[in-house]
Structure 1
Amino acid sequence: MPLILQAGHATRAGQRAANEDFVGMVLPGEPDLSSKGFIAAVADGVSGNDGGREASEYTIRGLLGDYYATSDTWPVTQSLDRVIKAINSWVQQQGSIRAELAGMATTLTTLVLRGHFYYFAHVGDTRLYLLRDGRLAVLTTDHVWDRPEMQHVLTRAIGLDTRIAIDHGMGELQEGDVFLLASDGVWDVLSRHVLTEHLLAMQPGADAQAAAEALLDAALAAGTRDNLSALVVRVQALPEMNLRDALSGSQQLPLPPKLKPGQTIDGYTVEEQIHASAATLLYRVREDGSGRQLVLKTLHPDKAEDAHERSAFAHEEWLARRVVGRFFPQVISPAQKSRLYYLTTWHEGSTLQQQLDVGKHFTIPEVLGCGIRLVRALGALHRRSIVHRDIKPANIHLGSDGELRILDLGVAQSGLEAEDEVRAPRAGTPSFLAPEQFDDAPASPATDLYAAGVTLYLLLTRRYPYGEIEPFQTPRFGSPVMPSRHRPDLPMWLENVLLKAIAADPAERFETAEEFLLALERGAAQPLARPAAKPLAERDPTALWRALALISVVANLLLLYLLVVR
């Protein structure tokens, strides 16, 4: 399904002799709708200058035409920035070489809707509003002097100076979102409450054009003395989320600085930093409006110029949005997003690793319960063609609500990654990597199930079946240590399940999460057979040859002794 929108616009001179406002929009067909998106813009020519109308009209017409001529490989923000700066140079130059156009300038607010995201660029005191869930938010900041008697004097405008500072922003779209682009002839006389009432009338099937006209009628009735313009857009349906938009968005937003408790970002107040690594930072934040607690994840500021890390982070967020269900934290979409981060639900509780670190002794029923829920969660991932690649106790969270959730999709794969990521088979934690991954075999659902088996083994015994493996080590995999050696109370049927899950030979392991789950759920009622012991020649050929060499040396020494004695 493509992006489906309903849009309408209106502009009038009001009580002025001439209308210096100008509005426009383009809703292209495919493939431009997918590659470049829908664009709308409103401009208000600076009053008192003969060139105000010329500046606003040229700016809108130039923007709507030139935006679609930019490269499809450019991010939306880059395309808008390049086009607006070129227009600013032309307008500024015209005002300087033509006396009748001296001082020509205009405000500009433009909106682009593409895929699941909205983007805007803004200069001046025209405004962009977003109505979502019955609440109206202003997404732009007026560029005017902050003194009361000079609040209509612009500090920034197209054509005002040779250099121009453009405000950019972006956010995620939701079905039912209503956007309003308006000149000050509308918003200056209509309260936010009145604007909200008019936009709430934009229900499915309502006429966007009628809504724009009704706003102008209300502004005139309220006594506006200025030109007035309104452009209304309602999002009726969104296309399927695609990775390209996510990657594009990751390159456009700046990273937030390191945040401290009490600081705010886009309406979220930081409560504490809960994790930090070389690449990422996690904070617990509180939403200012609702008071709910969320997790904010972002890149470390040192990675601001690292395009690879930005792309990997965007890919992680994209995957996190796909795994909707009880076994995963759910991604939350902010109304406005000015920095590169993403939000997920916060759940009280702790990871399995945190519980191990404080000395918790897991009972066999507890481990069995964790195992069943973990394998179900992996099955949900694998059905979405996602391989986690870093299953371990630190990435498994037990909530106070009793739910088990898998965390951190930072190294997960979905089959859409760049080649260099696909060729990184050892991404993850060495002690949980399957033996074939040390021979550069690719990660697969089977390697996730192996890591799940090692995780359950560790919870029961606090040891690794093949010993702890250090980074850059190339281990040998013979026979695992029987878990019952460390846990004598372990029932044989569960030991057999673990031994099958952690078998060194992939052919001897569970093929799917469903098969693993069935073995755990059937338990002692239908126990698995114990894996047959392998001969030394299969388990460790090197050890066999060493033994034969030692026997040969001893035999030769014995023969030599017998010859000397004789």
Structure 2
Amino acid sequence: MKQLEVSIGQASLTGPRPRNEDFAGYVTPSAAERQDKGILVAVADGLGGHENGREAAEGTVRGLLADYYATPDTWAVNTRLERVIQSLNRWVQGQAARHRHAVGMATTLSALVLRGTRYYLAHVGDTRIYRLRDGELDVLTTDHVWAHPELDNVLSRAIGLDARLSIDLADGNLAAGDRFALMSDGVWATLGDERIRRILAQTASSQDAASELATSAVGAGSPDNCTVLVVQVEQIPPSRLPELFEAVASQPLPPALGPGDRVDDLVVEAVLHDSLLTRLYRVRTPQGRQAVLKTLRPGAGDAENCQALVYEEWIARRVVDSRFPAVIDWPARRHLYYLMSWHEGSSLKARLAGGHRFAVAEVVELGCEILRGVAALHRLAIVHRDIKPDNLHVDTLGRLRILDLGVSASDGQDFAEINNPGTPSYMAPDLHAGERASESTDLYALGVTLYELLTRHYPYGEIEPFQKPRFGEPVPPTRYRPDIPAWLEAVLLKAVAVDAGERFETAEEFLLALELGAHRPLRMPRKRPLLRRDPALALKLLAVGSLVLNALLLLLLFAR
């Protein structure tokens, strides 16, 4: 199976300077990490002439190469790059603040990540990233400089210059044969684009190209250090789906199973769930351990559904939290499914259906536990997209777990996904308007869930599939449960506000509001003006008022 393959060359020459203040480095990780996080290369140029320019450049590149690979797999590449570089900017500024001799230390940085069939770049300063494709040379970065009448161009941005660092982030498609060149200004400012293009096009190996560019710049009289990294893309994978996923997704689906049937040394004990696409079984291992097996129904195993199931397992493996079922490794697996830990108990929906009346304190405690789990998801840049009582489970020991990551999404992998999946009554107004799911829409769904647990109603009434709902003011939960305290009503109404800007911004903020409770109550949300709640009705009332006023004026006129 094809995977991303590259060759890399590197050269760095001091030139006429007394010391080399440039630094370059790269990481070519193992196959599994290459699929998740890609290959990272970077070049930095410490501020010319500064005593600590080299320290800033080397520390920034080494820190980026180490910390980038320590970030969660579920983060998007650009998210990883930005967060790590921002932390490195704070590190450089901290060094300058702590040591008198380091005041003013700073560095430029150009970084490139190749992953799957795409490239991603992050850039600050006047180092550059070039791409040669089909003989055409493109500059992928913009120089952050100000023209100065008496000096060479002055840097407008660099790592360490400003507490508020602005980073250029971009991405694009890869093609086999692409050649990228990252270089300091001592090279590109001396050689010019045409000479760079010729050397990259005419030099066979990446190492020879990097060496030729650096030595040519020194030979042409470069006044600066000359550093170059050249990356040649030898082959790319056939699709965006990581090769490991493809291997699993190509396995056959298990047949329809019933109690007593066997699959891959597992004995089926019960069918737990059977939908149009998926089936869940409770199974027992040869060691006697019970587990949940999730797979697709026979006949639902098209490529998109298979990839979605494998992606669900990929996400579930990365959510290591006690409020989620654990994924179980099963070396004997020869069919397309995955195993999760089994926990005796029932969903909150089943408890509602069974007539359980949730006390206020019980709902607050459940809400806090759910929010801690949702916060763990959001820290991994995962959005659940289907929070509801059906997907919230309490075991026989009273421990809560969040179930079903089947439609969850992370920004760390770019897969085709269902447009705004979820259950209509728990979907935020912005989702019904066609906007993308977000942390805010998860928190809205949780607000509806807590409202339902207390009242057995929905704040805007039940919404049927394919219905286009109109959202007015939510019904106060105290209409159904007068015993709900005012502070909790305020929390619930804030959580389910129509305007996303009026809701809780993070799970931690929502959690704090529940934990503080009556000790620091929220202000009751003010009712929205009619023009915002229902513009059409407001205009109709305005028109009617205008007609009535005109009629009165006519009556007064004729009365005279």
TM over 0.5: yes
Following TM superposition, by how much is the alpha carbon of 1:436 offset from its aligned partner in structure 2, in angstroms? 1.2
Residues 506-527 of structure 1, C-alpha deviations (whole Å, 9 max, x = no match): 1111111111110000110111
Asked if residue 297 in structure 1 is aligned to residue 297 in structure 2, the reply is no
Asked if residue 463 in structure 1 is aligned to residue 457 in structure 2, the reply is yes
**In 2, are the aligned partners of 1:328 and 1:406 still within 8 Å (CA)?**
yes
The correspondence for 1:358, drawn from 354, 357, 361, is 354
Following TM superposition, by how much is the alpha carbon of 1:359 offset from its aligned partner in structure 2, in angstroms? 1.9
Asked if residue 438 in structure 1 is aligned to residue 432 in structure 2, the reply is yes
The correspondence for 1:342, drawn from 338, 344, 363, is 338
Task: Name the aligned partner's letter for residue 342 of structure 1.
Answer: Y
Q: Residue 14 of structure 2 aligns with which residue?
A: none
**In 2, are the aligned partners of 1:425 and 1:443 still within 8 Å (CA)?**
no
Q: Structure 1 residues 32, 347: closer, same or farther in 2, change over 3 A?
A: closer
For 2:400 and 2:438, how far apart are their aligned partners in 1?
22
Following TM superposition, by how much is the alpha carbon of 1:475 offset from its aligned partner in structure 2, in angstroms? 1.5
The correspondence for 1:399, drawn from 395, 401, 408, is 395
Following TM superposition, by how much is the alpha carbon of 1:385 offset from its aligned partner in structure 2, in angstroms? 1.2
Q: RMSD between aligned alpha carbons?
A: 2.5
Unaligned segments of structure 2, at least 5 residues: 1-26, 36-239
For 1:360 and 1:35, how far apart are their aligned partners in 2?
47
Q: Residue 533 of structure 2 aligns with which residue?
A: 539
Q: Give 3-state SS (helix, strand or coil) of 2:378's partner.
A: helix
Q: Give 3-state SS (helix, strand or coil) of 1:468's partner.
A: coil
Asked if residue 552 in structure 1 is aligned to residue 552 in structure 2, the reply is no
Following TM superposition, by how much is the alpha carbon of 1:247 offset from its aligned partner in structure 2, in angstroms? 2.1
Task: Name the aligned partner's letter for residue 299 of structure 2.
Answer: D
Task: Name the aligned partner's letter for residue 299 of structure 1.
Answer: L
Q: Give 3-state SS (helix, strand or coil) of 1:302's partner.
A: coil
Greater radius of gyration (CA): 1
Q: Structure 1 residues 481, 31: closer, same or farther in 2, change over 3 A?
A: closer
**In 1, are the aligned partners of 2:28 and 2:34 still within 8 Å (CA)?**
no
Percent identity over the alignment? 53
The correspondence for 1:385, drawn from 381, 384, 387, is 381
**In 1, are the aligned partners of 2:259 and 2:268 still within 8 Å (CA)?**
yes
Task: Name the aligned partner's letter for residue 452 of structure 2.
Answer: L
Residues 265-301 of structure 1, C-alpha deviations (whole Å, 9 max, x = no match): 111110110101111000011112x212110110111
The correspondence for 1:269, drawn from 267, 270, 277, is 267
For 1:427 and 1:475, how far apart are their aligned partners in 2?
16
For 1:411 and 1:445, how far apart are their aligned partners in 2?
14
**In 1, are the aligned partners of 2:259 and 2:269 still within 8 Å (CA)?**
yes
**In 2, are the aligned partners of 1:500 and 1:510 still within 8 Å (CA)?**
yes
Unaligned segments of structure 1, at least 5 residues: 1-28, 38-241
Q: Structure 1 length normalisation: TM-score?
A: 0.55
Task: Name the aligned partner's letter for residue 379 of structure 1.
Answer: A
For 1:347 and 1:499, how far apart are their aligned partners in 2?
33
**In 2, are the aligned partners of 1:243 and 1:318 still within 8 Å (CA)?**
no
Asked if residue 513 in structure 1 is aligned to residue 507 in structure 2, the reply is yes
The correspondence for 1:491, drawn from 485, 488, 502, is 485
For 1:32 and 1:391, how far apart are their aligned partners in 2?
36
**In 2, are the aligned partners of 1:246 and 1:318 still within 8 Å (CA)?**
no
Q: Residue 316 of structure 1 aligns with which residue?
A: 312
Q: Give 3-state SS (helix, strand or coil) of 2:409's partner.
A: coil
Alignment of 1:524-535 (within 5 A): 524-535=518-529
For 1:548 and 1:437, how far apart are their aligned partners in 2?
30
Q: Residue 522 of structure 1 aligns with which residue?
A: 516
Q: Structure 1 residues 551, 408: closer, same or farther in 2, change over 3 A?
A: same
Following TM superposition, by how much is the alpha carbon of 1:246 offset from its aligned partner in structure 2, in angstroms? 4.5
Alignment of 1:121-270 (within 5 A): 244-270=242-268
Q: Residue 303 of structure 2 aligns with which residue?
A: 307
Q: Structure 2 length normalisation: TM-score?
A: 0.56
Q: Give 3-state SS (helix, strand or coil) of 2:284's partner.
A: strand
For 1:406 and 1:33, how far apart are their aligned partners in 2?
31
**In 2, are the aligned partners of 1:295 and 1:343 still within 8 Å (CA)?**
yes
For 1:313 and 1:257, how far apart are their aligned partners in 2?
16
For 2:401 and 2:441, how far apart are their aligned partners in 1?
19
Residues 33-74 of structure 1, C-alpha deviations (whole Å, 9 max, x = no match): 66999xxxxxxxxxxxxxxxxxxxxxxxxxxxxxxxxxxxxx
**In 2, are the aligned partners of 1:246 and 1:315 still within 8 Å (CA)?**
no
Instruction: Give the total of aligned pairs.
Output: 330
For 1:251 and 1:302, how far apart are their aligned partners in 2?
15
Task: Name the aligned partner's letter for residue 472 of structure 2.
Answer: G
Q: Residue 277 of structure 2 aligns with which residue?
A: 279
Residues 484-526 of structure 1, C-alpha deviations (whole Å, 9 max, x = no match): 1111100000001111111111111111111111000011011
Residues 518-555 of structure 1, C-alpha deviations (whole Å, 9 max, x = no match): 00001101111111222222222222112112223444
For 1:323 and 1:36, how far apart are their aligned partners in 2?
20
Q: Structure 1 residues 521, 561: closer, same or farther in 2, change over 3 A?
A: same
Residues 84-142 of structure 1, C-alpha deviations (whole Å, 9 max, x = no match): xxxxxxxxxxxxxxxxxxxxxxxxxxxxxxxxxxxxxxxxxxxxxxxxxxxxxxxxxxx
Residues 127-175 of structure 1, C-alpha deviations (whole Å, 9 max, x = no match): xxxxxxxxxxxxxxxxxxxxxxxxxxxxxxxxxxxxxxxxxxxxxxxxx
Task: Name the aligned partner's letter for residue 524 of structure 1.
Answer: A
